[in-house]
Amino acid sequence: MNGDVLRKALLACLPEQAILTDPAGCLPYGYDNSRCQAQPDAVVFPTSHEQIVRLVHFCRDQRIPLTCRGYGTGTTGATVPIRGGIVLSTERFNRILEIHPEDRYAVVEPGVTNQQLQEAAGQAGFFWPPDPTSAAFCSIGGNLAYNSAGPRAVKYGTPRENTLGLIAVTGSGETLKTGVYTTKGVVGYDLTRLLIGSEGTLGIITQATLKLTPTAQHIHTLRAIYRNVHAAARAVSAIMAQSVIPCALEFIDGQAIRIIQDYSDIRFPEGSGAMLMIEVDGPLAGLR
């Protein structure tokens, strides 16, 4: 199906301004942060669940590959359309629908960035714990598809532990609603956790209900230097055995330390073979 024919067929699913078939325009949507690249035949920008349902039915009927992507910050190549076909970009499907401080949850569309959610939740005194390094640019849909967590996972867990429910479209075009609005939900299969981390292979997430956590009163960061990896590993075991654990705990080995010193003005004590970056949060009295 050539570009013009494909474009006309897609008009039954999406408005004209949501369809891109120009090869040059489609090129940036054929790669992600893995640096792998493939050329899609078309890129579409849905803004509703219903549009995605129609699109999935169309692709299924026409046997056209469909690849979903957020902002392309993933490093595994999961959003690269290796068989061509259509790329579904969620970048325009990007509304924060609800923030409920009293019930500690937010409802968002998949194209909302992690940072946008954090800023909106922060105004109410809350945050969503997953904080990948690409938070300023990555989408919530991508965070869920990859189960991307970031440094705070050591205390607060991954998106699986911080998501209450999802709405998704399966490969057959059916709508799937999972989860509950409460922390405890023990009825039936836990399809929410199954969809999270599936990288779009089980369904396209169109809405997420996310569990919010109150923002800590204070955050302290410290750096600990060790002579070797084994000493740092023993320190990690001792730290994690305490009743109060860090909200972030990152390990840097000796080679990384040497690179830092070679390419920056940061200096380390002689003989530094490993480093721990430790972040703790909570009331001030508990951090002293």
Residue-range domain boundaries for the chain:
3-89, 96-214, 218-287
- Cβ neighbours, 10 Å, residue 241: 8
Please name which of 108, 135, 129 lies closest in space to residue 206, comparing C-alpha atoms. Answer: 108
Q: Read off the pLDDT band of 62 (50, 70, 90).
A: very high
Please compute the mean of the pLDDT values over residues 111-134 and round it to a whole number.
Answer: 97
In the sheet where 66-69 sits, what is the strand order?
19-20, 42-44, 86-89, 66-69
Q: To 5 degrees, how large is the angle CA 118–CA 46–CA 59?
A: 130
Question: Is the pLDDT reported for residue 18 higher than 90?
Answer: yes
The CATH number of 96-214 is 3.30.465.10
Question: Is the pLDDT reported for residue 225 higher than 80?
Answer: yes
Strand partners, 213: 127
Alpha-carbon distance values, 58 to 176, 258, 263 (Å): 18, 54, 52
Three-class SS of residue 220? strand
Give this prediction's pTM. Answer: 0.92
Architecture of domain 3-89: 2-Layer Sandwich (3.30)
